Amino acid sequence: MKRLLTFALTACLSLAATTMLRAEEPLKLGLAPEPYAPFEWKEADGTWKGFEIDLGKALCKEMKRDCVLVEIAWDGIIPALQAKKIDVIFNSMSITEERKKTINFSDPYYSTVPAFIGPKGTKVELTKESMSGKVIGVQVATTHADYAEKNFGDVAEIRTYATQDEANADLVSGRVDLVLADKVALNEFLKSDAAKDLGMLADVTADGPTLAGAGIRKEDTELLAQMNAAIAAVLKSGEYDRIAKPYFAFDIYGLPRK
């Protein structure tokens, strides 16, 4: 009997130690290793900066969790989450019904609209007639790529790129006629010297604003609840607005406050 009790006690202590170790493991926030200002970019010394970086830190603090950033190529970021290489996708991922079939999303933490940019003075209408014969650059595996293919794929060439920077570079060089992406990020690009001859041409608002959320595995329901509670807390406390102010001259949340 004593041996049984000793074995049971040892097993319980081992389980408790394992549980404590897991609780202390940092939460791995996944993001693509490319600049997407003002949401995130990497300084010359390798330090990540930006709105999502600061917001991610605030949410981790609210959840009382240590967090680390893990760089994952954008087109492999959902498989990386499913393979448990990361715990959360925190990378301006649009909440879509198609993605919801595979992963869960937190409550939205910002909203925006897609937009087309191109040479200044270009007339663009969101019709097949206007887009006929155009070459449209989009980042692969994005809602922007889906929209362009669905609406104009039969009359325009939809050219996909691994990163948004590559699409923007081809627009500057004239290899594509238009680029479709998030309006906030494109506004940052238009401030650069390389984009001096480019301008904002048309917003895509028919389906309402695009909502960004944190991607979480289906089975991680407790983490999802914690993330939602943290988002609500920083919104209520004013911490969200304090974080956003240096990056945006408007309300990037863009949704009714509870």
Q: What is the dihedral of CA 154, 157, 161, 166, to 10 degrees?
A: -150
CA dihedral 40, 41, 47, 50 (to 10 degrees): -40
Residues of the chain above pLDDT 70, percent: 91
Say if 226 falls within a structural domain.
yes
Q: Tokens 């019709």 sit at which residue? A: 127
Per the domain annotation, does 187 fall within a domain?
yes
Is the residue at 128 inside a domain? yes
186 C-beta neighbours (distance < 10 Å), count: 20
What would you report as the CA-atom Rg of the chain, rounded to the nearest whole angstrom? 22
Residue 222 and residue 99 share a domain: yes
* Closest to 113 measured CA to CA, from 54, 61, 180, 68: 180
Task: Report the distance separating Cα 21 and Cα 13, nearest Å.
Answer: 12
The answer to whether 33 touches 73, Cβ cutoff 8 Å, is: yes
Strand partners, 161: 139
Q: Are residues 105 and 56 in the same domain?
A: yes
Q: What is the mean pLDDT of residues 244-258?
A: 95
pLDDT of 149: 98
Amino acid at site 49:
K
Confidence of residue 17 (pLDDT cuts 50, 70, 90): very low
Determine the number of helices (DSSP H) and then strands (DSSP E) in the chain.
10, 14
Q: Which of 187, 203, 219 is the last residue of a domain?
A: 203
* Residues 54 and 96 occupy one common structural domain: yes
State the CATH number of the domain containing residue 55. 3.40.190.10
| Domain co-membership, 81 together with 119 | no
* pTM (two decimals): 0.88
- Looking at residue 224, its pLDDT comes to 98
pLDDT band at 9 (very low <50, low <70, confident <90, very high): very low
Over the stretch 68-85, which tens digit does the pLDDT of each residue have? Answer: 999 999 999 999 999 999
Residue type at 213 in one-letter notation: G
Do 94 and 128 lie in one domain? The reply is: no
Q: How far apart are CA 41 and CA 18, in angstroms?
A: 36
Range of the domain at 160: 114-203
Q: How many domains does the chain have?
A: 2
217 and 172 in a common domain: no
Same domain for 185 and 75: no
pLDDT band at residue 23 under the 50/70/90 scheme: low
